[in-house]
Structure 1
Amino acid sequence: MERFLRDWRQDALNKAQYESAIFIGDKLLAMTRDDNDAFWLAQVHFAAGNYTRSHALLTKHNLIGSNSSCRYLAAHCLIRQNLFNDALALLGEHTPTHLFTANARRKTSRTGGRGGPGRGGLKAPERQRDQFSEEESSDRRHEAAMCYLRGLCYAKQNAFDRAKEAYKDALRIDVQCYEAFTQLVRNSLMSPDEEDEFMLSLDFNSVRAPNGGDDPDLKSEPGDYVHMLYQTQLSKYRNPRAFNTAIESLSTHYGLERNADILLARADMLYTQCRFKDALAITDSILEEDKYNFAAYPVHLACLYELGKTNVLFLIAHELADSRPDEPCTWLAVGIYYFATGKIAEARRYFSKASMMDANFGPAWIGFAHTFAAEGEHDQAVTAYSTAARLFTGTHLPQVFLGMQNHAMNNMTAAEEFLKTAYALCRTDPLLLNEMGVVLYHQDRLRDAAKFFREALRIADDTDSDPHAWLGARTNLAHAYRRMRLLDEALEEFDAVLRDGGKDPAVVCAKGLIYLDKGLPDEAVRLLHEALAVNPQDPIATELLNKALEESAAADVGVLMAQLSTGDHQEGDTGVDEGDGGVGGKADLDRFEAELNERKVAARVRMERRTTRGKLAADKGKGVARGNSTATAGSGRIGGRRGRYIVEEEEEEGMMELSDDG
């Protein structure tokens, strides 16, 4: 009868018929008075959501101190009731370090296990590991799970450093404790360098498949598989080659090419490379299979924002608000839609709602901070970004945004410090390198600025990033070359920007300024006319054109005066008087001045006609739209991916320098 009741209870539990399982389990416990049956009944209560009854049952039968599995279940019940202090008191602050130090002592080389001395048989440490009883292995797994619960309690107390160490301890004890791993990665608690170092410290050789036999290859394969799965979840900035190798192996050898997690990891990599269309195609395919895969929504929404697909954002936000109002991603989608349509106050309200539903939801915190930055409320933006930096200590992006805000407030020293902090966390993000170059540029440290711009472009090229996303960095490099008087190099960079990004009047103006610097005012006049044809109201182009026309006219005067002085010398031998009206006489000078004035008038008339034509075309909607000189930093995900331009007023400063030199 006992065996019959246990089978009935398990069958009901497997079918999620919790009332039946509780009913039968209660009768079984009354018959047997067995601790195992009491533990299983507590498990059924937990599965049914009866956390108070489950904890009370464990306490009544004095099971909490009996073994690790009962203590883990009791602590989990307390956490589900939001009694974090009680749970931490039950778990204790002591970490069973002897478990992962034993792992370290048994650890073998992942690369030297094949074809080495151990091929003919198991090494002594491996025999010892295989001799672990099932009970010992279960205790280890529960001890690791309790370290994970300890980390959750610390996180709720805002002790994020202690939470991170608890999660690490869980993985050191049991590398298969994925809950701890995902807390570390999803909440960005480790920097890319720290992730690599931690992965090397884990004992993936402890992962064993049942009935693996004596073949060392078969014994190491589960560990390799788990290592590759974890590798796909790490930062996409640090080691793209290792990421691609893991993705390729999992897709080719294990048939995971259409798995949602693998596809999402690939989309995340493409997003960091600013290949938004490619990333969006992947996230679309993921959501077609499962439209409630909320892990995919942050990247998906960020790509829609970057590509300006406001209609799609509206449809997604509307559908999620109707079907899943209990999910933070729902209100993130609503906030991004309002942010994309310029309704900043509404966007802030929904980003705040998403962050209150999940205090560790990074995209909501970053979006909330972006709303203040969009309105120029720099102090509030700094406060919000600082909160994100405190919550997500392993990512460099909040520090980048703090640097950008301090730069906007002209606090160059503070901006540089924040960017240096970000650089210590991640050295391979072109966005960060471009921002560091911008700050150094405004500090007149032009050589250092140019070095960072070049490094940003090099990394973007090495990772096959979208070149259009980094036109800002290339433009900034050209401006740095211009101010360093490397005029030919600056022209090459400006030409590359115009070739990849189309006619940008700011870039054309910068080229015109360089030709003025090189003493070629006629070529400058031609370029500045092109800039005004695109944007007739550009004040910098207008002022530069006036300057170029004056210098062109002055050059014509210089040439004619040189000719006249040569004529004076030749005619001086014949005794022709200057007042006679001959060559070099007053009549020639008057005639030249009249001709020069006519040229000036004709040039101004041509400029006014072009300006008028451009204005009429713009009024009719046929003018060429001018590209934004700056790119938004936000996307609903942690971090916008486009580089910023140096502010266009630098061209005006360069023009004033030229005026002073002239």
Structure 2
Amino acid sequence: MASSQPNMEKFLRDWRQDALNKAQYDSAIFIGDKLLAMTKDDKDAFWLAQVHFAAGNFTRAHALLAKQDLIGSNPACRYLAAHCLIRQNHFTDALSLLGEHSPTHLFTANAKRKTARSNGRHGLSRLGSKASDPLDHGGDASAEEVSNRRYEAAMCHLRGLCYSKQNAFDRAKEAYKDALRIDVQCFEAFSQLVKNSLMSPDEEDEFMQSLEFSSIKAAGDDPDMEDEPADYVRMIYQTQLSKYRNPRAFNTAIESLSTHYGLAQNADILLARADLLYTQCRFKNALAITDTILEDDKYNFAVYPVHLACLYELRKTNLLFLIAHELADTHPDEPCTWLAVGIYYFVTGKIADARRFFSKASMMDANFGPAWIGFAHTFAAEGEHDQAVTAYSTAARLFTGTHLPQVFLGMQNHAMNNMTAAEEFLRTAYQLCKTDPLLLNEMGIVFYHQERLKEATQMFRQALLIADEMDSDPLAWLGARINLGHAYRRMRMHDEALDEFDQVLRDGGKDAAVFCAKGLIFLDKGLADEAVRVLHEALAIHSQDPIATELLNKALDESAGADLALLPVNGGDDFADIDRFEQELEERKFAAKSRLESKTRAAAAAAGRSGKGKAADSRRRQGRWRRRRQSYGNERRRIGTGAFFF
């Protein structure tokens, strides 16, 4: 039916759109209401509902759509109505409106979509010119099909949100994946999958391979440029995936986006770089990038989890205080604010306060992973293993695609000496991610304590190999190398163990424990003099180290016994005067002990021993030394654990 006042209707629609563009919602509502009264048109009713939604009037928007009987007539109207219900936290009603099943018949429509786009390029141009009105496609079937498909994908995204609120995370994940199968450009669904860690790294890679990026075509006159948007979207998505799976593909995507599309200084690209550096334990480099982002936009809250985690690892207490104080003043409604406060209290040792603020952040956003991990860490820091296990289990249930909660569960069970459960959790984590050196190191530690030394060495070697392939900071994984050295030592592979310990010392691990380990190896090999030398180096680093002191006494005893063994049994010309030789030997032994006492007097006094009183407790010390010799080691390098970020 032709309009009786087309000029006036056009004038009012332009006025409504102009007011909406300027966020003058009262004006847009006022004019839209008059326009709807004049035309009784469904399109005008839909746009009035859109204005109400933009203004936050979700109840009025839904009521208007229901009153005009539009909810069941068009995907755009049904999507808007469901979105209104979700914004009112009526998730059950929204799911009832959306239905519980995805339109699977649209999964195979990508080929038709490609044909329609390639054969109807002018139709796409018309769609672009009328994109402001999803209910009017000007008779273009191709444009209407594309618009309906996109709204169906958006409804799959809403369906996933409803499932997530009902704690049905598996169904939520499938709904988000269905949205991308219908429309690969539904970034909201992709963001939910990645941000909430709903897919493991391997699953992410497999799902990316299954998406129809080739369905994205550009409308233009150059046929050679039609496929470029598909590559662009694929690379953009690649930068958001887990950095454990394929760092080379990530670097290729970053390089192309930075070089060809001018995104080198884009905040999202920079954040992806910082995320990769964080997984490589290069915290200073990652912090430099996040500082750059926040200098340009200090309220980019997506940056703060990585930024705060780097500050925690580097123990930047003052900066943490300043950030937490500023965010608490300016943005008390943001979960990141209370995450910052919690991390500050955690790093300063105020565990109870930290737990309170981590809990507050998690209650503000139930899907905020760093807050859940921080909350669990507070129990672990106090040795409350049962509560820590419960908290980590909650994180594992909420974020099914990340392996870190399972790793932390394995650590807690290891701390409780429950090796079977520890191994089970770590193997579950290994199924999710096989390329995290932290996980491999933890598995090696569990095998080490189970006397499965061959498997332990395999895990330690694999951890170091992957860390090297990731270009990770070598200092971050000195613990794994020390562990490998101890495993070799227990297997009596002395040369290999010495190579690992020497590499630790070259990389900067000047630790008395490393020299003690070398001393143990030299004692095992019968090289008491070499043991004495390295144990003196250990005491030069830590003069009161009890293990080094005890091992040095043992080495001196063995060295003296070796000298006595050199005496001829039946006499001879080499040592004509046996008494003089024994006297010289005692003098050498006394001189060596005097040098030791000058360095370890405080340790000897604390142990209640004197130079002449050593013989009384020699048997007890021998037994203690043997036990330490078996259990010595077990370095756990917790740097790079992703303590408050994944």
Q: Helix, strand or coil: the match of 2:327?
A: helix
Distance 1:486 1:270 in 2: 35
1:69 and 2:76 are equivalent in the alignment:
yes
- What does 1:284-433 align with in structure 2 at a 5 Å threshold? 284-433=291-440
Greater shift, 318-327 or 519-528, is seen at 519-528
Asked if 2 retains the 8 angstrom alpha-carbon contact of 1:367 and 1:635, the reply is no
Shift of 1:526: 1.7
Aligned to 2:157: 148
The 1:184/1:412 distance shift into structure 2, 3 A limit, reads: same
Query: What's the counterpart of residue 3 of structure 1?
Result: 10
2:32 is aligned with 1:40? no
Alignment of 1:23-422 (within 5 A): 23-103=30-110, 105=111, 126-127=118-119, 132-210=141-219, 212-213=220-221, 215=223, 217-422=224-429
Between the aligned partners of 1:606 and 1:214, the Cα distance in structure 2 is: 85
How far did residue 308 of structure 1 move?
A: 1.4
Paired letter, 1:565: N
Distance in 1 (CA, whole Å) between partners of 2:356 and 2:583 is 67
Q: Percent identity?
A: 77
- In the TM superposition, residue 638 of structure 1 has moved relative to its aligned partner by 3.2
What's the CA shift string for 1:633-661, capped at 9, x where partnerless? Answer: 7665236xxxxxxxxxxxxxxxxxxxxxx
| In structure 2, C-alpha distance between the alignment counterparts of 1:182 and 1:371, rounded to whole Å | 29
- Hey, what does 1:565 align to over in structure 2? 570
Write out aligned runs for 1:496-575 (5 A): 496-559=503-566, 561-562=567-568, 565-567=570-572
Q: How far does residue 40 in structure 1 lie from its aligned partner after superposition?
A: 0.6
TM-score by length of 1: 0.86
Q: Which residue number corresponds to residue 592 of structure 2? A: 603
Q: 1:609 to 1:338 in 2, by over 3 A?
A: same
Secondary structure in structure 2 of the residue aligned to 1:566: coil
1:604 alignment partner AA: K
Q: Which residues of structure 1 form unaligned runs of 5+? A: 109-122, 572-581, 616-627, 640-662
Q: Match of 2:447, as an amino acid?
A: L
CA contact (8 A) 1:107 1:205 kept: no
> Secondary structure in 1 aligned to 2:571?
helix
SS at match of 2:510: coil
Displacement of 1:343 in angstroms is 1.3
What letter matches 1:610 in structure 2?
K
The answer as to whether partners of 1:512 and 1:528 remain within 8 angstroms in 2 is yes
Q: Is the 8 A contact 2:163 2:171 kept in 1?
A: yes
- Contact 1:321 1:331 (8 Å CA) reproduced: yes
CA spacing shift, 1:107–1:52, aligned 2, 3 Å: closer
Distance 1:634 1:193 in 2: 20
How far apart in 2 are the matches of 1:635 and 1:151?
27
C-alpha distance in 1 between matches for 2:222 and 2:158: 36
Could you tell me how far apart the structure 2 residues matched to 1:614 and 1:629 are? Answer: 27
Given the two structures, how large is their TM-score scaled by the length of structure 2?
Answer: 0.88
AA of the residue aligned to 2:512: P
Cα pair 2:438 2:638 within 8 Å, conserved = no
CA distance in 2, matches of 1:541, 1:19: 79
Of the structure 1 ranges 436-445 and 286-295, higher mean CA displacement relative to structure 2 is found in 436-445
How many angstroms does 1:208 deviate by?
2.5
2:323 maps to a residue whose letter is I
Letter in 2 for 1:302: A
Deviation per residue, 1:297-324 (Å, 9 max, x gap):
1111111111111111111111111111
Alpha-carbon spacing, 1:372–1:634, altered in 2? closer, same or farther (3 Å): farther
Residue 603 of structure 1 deviates from its aligned partner by: 2.3
2:468 match: 461
Q: CA RMSD in A?
A: 2.2
Q: Which runs of 5+ in 2 are unaligned?
A: 1-7, 125-139, 605-634
Q: Distance in 2 between matches of 1:126 and 1:612?
A: 87
Secondary structure of 1:295's counterpart equals coil
Q: Which residue of 2 aligns with 1:13?
A: 20
Cα distance in 2, alignment partners of residues 10 and 529 from structure 1: 82
C-alpha displacement at 1:209, in angstroms? 2.5
- Give the aligned partner of residue 132 of structure 2: none
Q: Is the Cα–Cα contact under 8 Å of residues 477 and 637 in structure 2 kept in the other structure?
A: no
- 1:502, 1:199 → 2: CA distance? 41
Distance in 1 (alpha carbons) for counterparts of 2:581 and 2:349: 57
Find the counterpart in structure 2 of residue 660 from structure 1: none
Describe the SS at the equivalent of 1:153: helix
Return 279-288 or 198-207, whichever deviates more. 198-207
User: Distance between the aligned counterparts of 1:413 and 1:357, measured in 2?
Assistant: 36
Separation in 2 of the partners of 1:29 and 1:107?
A: 34
The alignment partner of 1:133 has SS state of helix
Contact map agreement 1:336 1:636 (CA 8 A) in 2: no
Pairwise CA distance, 1:133: 2.3
Moved more, 493-502 or 128-137: 128-137
Amino acid in structure 1 at the alignment position of 2:593? R
CA offsets 1:267-313 (integer angstroms, 9 cap, x no match):
10111111111111111100000000011111111111111111111
CA offset at residue 632 of structure 1? 5.8
1:384 Cα shift? 0.8
1:629 & 1:171 partners in 2: Cα distance? Answer: 41
**In 1, Cα distance between equivalents of 2:395 and 2:556:** 53
Aligned length: 593
User: Matched residues in 2 for 1:268 and 1:107: separation?
Assistant: 36
Q: Distance in 1 between matches of 2:214 and 2:640?
A: 42
Contact 2:549 2:600 in 1 (8 A): no
- Rounded Cα–Cα distance in structure 1 between residues aligned with 2:636 and 2:41: 73
Q: CA deviation at 1:378?
A: 1.1
In 2 relative to 1, CA 352–493 (structure 1 residues): closer, same or farther, beyond 3 Å?
Answer: same
Aligned partner letter, 2:499: E
- How many Å separate the matches in 1 of 2:192 and 2:397? 15
Deviation at 1:193, TM superposition (A): 1.1
- 2:492 maps to 485
